[in-house]
Amino acid sequence: MKAAPFEYVRVESVDEALNLLSLHGGDAKLIAGGQSLVPMMAMRLARPAVLVDIARLNELKESLVDGRFVTLGAGVRQRSVELDSTLYESLPLVRDALRWVGHIQTRTRGTVGGSLVHADPSAELPLAAVVLGATFRVRSLEEGERRIPASEFFLGPMFNALGEQECLIDIEWPVWSGPGVKTAFEEVAMRHGDFAMASAACQLQLDGDGVCRRAALGLGGVDGTPLAFPDISAGLEGYKVNQDIAREIAQACVARIQPASDVHADADYRRHLAGVLLTRVILQSAGLLHAEH
Ligand SMILES: Cc1cc2nc3c(=O)[nH]c(=O)nc-3n(C[C@H](O)[C@H](O)[C@H](O)COP(=O)(O)OP(=O)(O)OC[C@H]3O[C@@H](n4cnc5c(N)ncnc54)[C@H](O)[C@@H]3O)c2cc1C
């Protein structure tokens, strides 16, 4: 199938993009890397009358590392994050997540913001965002600027808290300072580069004796949105991680999920995967298991 006819405008500034969104209401759509939107248009799941191209806006490509946060412009390409050692070192969980996102070709075009706004429940960057507690800065002509925590951004499959006339400007990712920060990201998909049937992410901070001082973890692909479990992961803090604790924490998370069945996996298999993957990422982050990829 081919996309329905549309008008194409390449804008020179965010303000121009916001003006067009305001003028055309829900009929206009922003396009960044096009890696999700173009296939959606080709399948006629999206039929924007006006396509507003923001891919070349330098305003959306700035990134800032200030010790406590990394702010990534929405238009920063996924591959640019992989190639920037400062970003890479400050955000190890994002680095781990990106390894699983599509292919080098899709990451070269695809932007960080595009992946987050697309809000696929199986996508890796949204999972990293909820686990780390990222904050989204968005702007529209009418409402001005507002900040949305990742925990309130994802509302359902391909559905987020962004208004039709809003543009995502940048994403603020908290940096865990100090030594002993360890991360792991695992998923199971039909083929490498496919969307995950289930994925799991974990970030731990261990002290010199191997005791967990801070923990964050989450699951993707097992519900309508990526899920973080801050109250459960807090149960790791103050303990030296071992197999039993890792399994117990993973099972407490799995008890909360209600996965759906589809052609790739039924709900029971997804629940099983979630438990196995979460246990694995906790043990890997604690240095008790090596990743096999
Ligand atoms: C073969 C293939 C494999 C893939 N595998 C994976 C995978 O394993 N994991 C994964 O997560 N993704 C995967 N993807 C999807 C894809 O790589 C990302 O979702 C994609 O990179 C989105 O970013 P984009 O810049 O291309 O967004 P676009 O396609 O341009 O836009 C996506 C959506 O975001 C909106 N948007 C973009 N930027 C903004 C902004 N600044 N403000 C407001 N709205 C905005 C658009 O209007 C659109 O609704 C795959 C894609 C392909 C083609």
Nearest CA to 240 out of 194, 282, 186, 184 is that of 282
Pairing label, strands 50-53, 7-10: parallel
pLDDT at residue 67, as a whole number? 82
* CATH 3.30.465.10 boundaries in the chain: 58-174
Ligand 1 center from residue 200 Cα (angstroms): 20
- Three-state secondary structure call for residue 224: coil
- Tell me the helix, strand and coil percentages in the chain, rounded to 5: 35, 25, 40
Q: In 10 A of CB 173, how many CB atoms?
A: 24
Rg of the chain over Cα atoms, rounded to whole angstroms, equals 19
Closest C-alpha to 141, from 113, 111, 163: 163
High-pLDDT (> 90) share of the chain, %: 90
CA–CA distance, 13 with 54 (Å, rounded to integer): 8
What does CATH list as the number for 58-174?
A: 3.30.465.10
Give domain 7-53's CATH architecture: 2-Layer Sandwich (3.30)
Tens of pLDDT, residue by residue over 99-149, are 999 999 999 999 999 999 999 999 999 999 999 999 999 999 999 999 999
For ligand 1, which residues put their CB under 6 angstroms from it? Answer: 29-37, 39, 54, 74, 101-102, 106, 109-111, 113-115, 117-118, 120, 123-124, 162, 167-168, 193, 195
Looking at the chain, which residues constitute the CATH 3.30.390.50 domain(s)?
A: 181-285
Alpha carbon of 269 to ligand 1 centroid (Å): 27
The protein residue with its alpha carbon nearest to ligand 1, atom 18, reads 115
- Please report, for residues 3, 19, 28, 111, the alpha-carbon distance to residue 7 in angstroms, rounded to integers and kept in the order given: 12, 15, 9, 22
Nearest-10 Cα torsion for 70, 74, 75, 78: 60
Per-residue confidence (pLDDT) for residue 235, from 0 to 100:
95
* Residue that the structure tokens 């996924």 belong to: 78
- Portions of the chain given CATH number 3.30.43.10: 7-53
Confidence of residue 239 (pLDDT cuts 50, 70, 90): very high
Nearest residue by C-alpha to atom 21 in ligand 1? 110
CATH of domain 181-285: 3.30.390.50
Tens of pLDDT, residue by residue over 187-212, are 999 888 788 899 999 999 999 999 99
Ligand 1 center–CA 77 separation, angstroms: 10
C-beta neighbour count of 165 within 10 angstroms: 20
